[in-house]
Amino acid sequence: MLSRYAKETRVLVAIDCIIFGFDGNDIKLLLVQRGLEPEKGRWSLMGGFIRPEESLEHAANRILKKNTGLENVYMEQLLAFGAPQRDPVERALSIAYFALIDIHQYEKQLSEEYHAEWFLLKEVPTLIFDHGEMVELAKNQLRYKAALHPILFELLPEKFTIPQLQLLYEAIYDASFDNRNFSRKVLSTGLLIKQKEKDRLNSKKGAFYFKLNKHKYADHLKAFLNFIPNPEKFMTVENKL
């Protein structure tokens, strides 16, 4: 029997995965070389088409794993890209997903057989189709969220120093911050608990370790009007990066 929607147009739907990583010093972007024509061999996000029976999240995980070996990465849906000519072969929508991960934590999964490579975010090569636009949008989304929420702490080890935290913020915003000013402002949030030990590897004077105050962290989110105590409770899974 013909479907009731028989006259409607059906289109290809791809998923593209934008994986940002932090290695302790720099923010990087994971890329692969495209395996098929057109644009074979050029740098690309990890992408593929959805299958008839899978959800979008399932497709995103399958496609990421197939291209890179990475598993159990929590990705957030960014945006559906639907310009009619975005893929020169045939109309294909793409739903972009993104995540920010700790590079060291996933090192083993990202084995050589996959040929996926980390690029410094400042030195990303030209990408196929509209992938450059997807990366720009994901970067902005990350900066926006990191300015409003202390999400970046999740990329640091349990004990970290202020210079490490500063490196992370500088990498995300592609900017340099004044050390003293940075330190003063971060400490004034009351989110950090000073430890007794110092990191003596990275400077003569040493830098005290800090831990995140997890209770405060959970309450921290500042509301525009304080009578809405915690906007976080209105965040859905899709918004939680």
Applying CB under 8 A, the residues found at the interface with a copy of itself are: 3-5, 8-13, 36-38, 49-56, 77, 79-80, 82-84, 89-93, 95, 137, 140-141, 143-144, 146-150, 169, 173, 177, 181-182, 185-186, 189, 220, 222-228, 231, 234-236, 238-239
Q: Are 56 and 107 in contact (CB under 8 A)?
A: no
> Please, what is the minimum distance in Å from the beta carbon of residue 9 to a copy of itself?
5
> Please, what is the minimum distance in Å from the beta carbon of residue 34 to a copy of itself?
12
> Please, what is the minimum distance in Å from the beta carbon of residue 204 to a copy of itself?
26
Q: Give the Cβ contact number of residue 42 at 10 Å.
A: 15
Complex with a copy of itself: residue 114 or 182, whichever CB lies closer: 182
> Please, what is the minimum distance in Å from the beta carbon of residue 183 to a copy of itself?
11
Handedness of CA 240, 21, 129, 37 (dihedral sign): negative
Phi (first) and psi of residue 159, to 5 degrees: -110, 130
Residues 6+ apart with CB under 8 A from 148: 221, 222
Complex with a copy of itself: residue 66 or 200, whichever CB lies closer: 66
Complex with a copy of itself: residue 176 or 204, whichever CB lies closer: 176
Q: For the chain, first and last CA: distance in Å?
A: 44
Locate 91 and state its tokens.
Answer: 């109309």
Complex with a copy of itself: residue 120 or 148, whichever CB lies closer: 148
> Please, what is the minimum distance in Å from the beta carbon of residue 130 to a copy of itself?
12
> How would you label 119-156 residue by residue, b for 16+ Cβ within 10 Å and e otherwise?
eebeebeebbbbbeebbebbbebbeebbeebbebbebb
Complex with a copy of itself: residue 32 or 79, whichever CB lies closer: 79
